[in-house]
Structure formats: C-alpha cells, structure tokens
Amino acid sequence: MQPAVFRMRIQPGMEDVYRQRHEAVWPEVEAALRRVGFSRYSIFAAGTELVAYFEAVDPPATLARLAEEPVMQRWWAWMAPVMGDEPADAHDYVRVYHLDDPREE
C-alpha cells in the first residue's frame, strides 16, 4: 500500500456542519471508498483546514475510480456548499519520514 495525503478547506462558519455530516457518513460512501481501494482513510481538521490521509495500491488511480462512483458524485454535490476551494497544492505532498508500528513488523 502507498500513502497519500491531500488538503481541503471548509467554508468559514461551516465547520460544525462538516463534522456533523461526517459523523453520519452514508454507508454507501464507505462501501464505495473500500470498493475502489481506499485503506486507512482519515481526515484531520484544524479550523477550516483539512488534511486527509489514505493508503491504496495506486492512489491516483484509486482517486480516479472514486470520481466515477455515482454515490460519491451525490456525496460531493451534497457537501459542495460546505466546502471551500481546494488549495492549488492540495496533492503535492511527498513523504519525507515514516516510523513503522513495531507491532506490525
């Protein structure tokens, strides 16, 4: 599995709405994420800034497959009023350090 990180933004004042919607994420969304190859997906928030982390065999191809999922298109349309513009460098992260979990060795 390869790691992938990207950033997103929430519209100012919509932080609580974003959290509430993700506390009740649609089961079909989670099924689609798994179906296209997402593993260990997390989103971290600091104010309106979001950082997402996931693992996949081929992260760019996995994201492309996800974009083709009808349920994801509906989810993203529902989330659009909550989301800010994606930062220009949203996908430009390169891992420079990693510490393995000794329990997984």
Q: Is there a contact between 18 and 8 (Cβ–Cβ < 8 Å)?
A: no
Q: What is the pLDDT of residues 71-105, one digit of tens each?
A: 999 999 999 999 999 888 988 898 899 888 888 76
Phi, psi of 102, deg, nearest 5: -60, -20
Number of domains, the chain: 1
Name residues whose C-beta falls within 8 Å of residue 84's C-beta, 6 or more positions apart in sequence: 8, 9, 10, 11, 12, 48
Q: Give the pLDDT of residue 21.
A: 97
- Average pLDDT for the chain: 94
Range of the domain at 75: 2-104
Of 2, 16, 22, 92, which residue is the catalytic one?
A: 22
Least confident of 1-10, 29-38, 47-56, 86-95: 86-95
Question: Is 22 tagged catalytic?
Answer: yes
At residue 24, does pLDDT exceed 80? yes
Count other C-beta atoms under 10 Å from residue 65's C-beta.
Answer: 17
> What CATH number has the domain bearing residue 62?
3.30.70.100
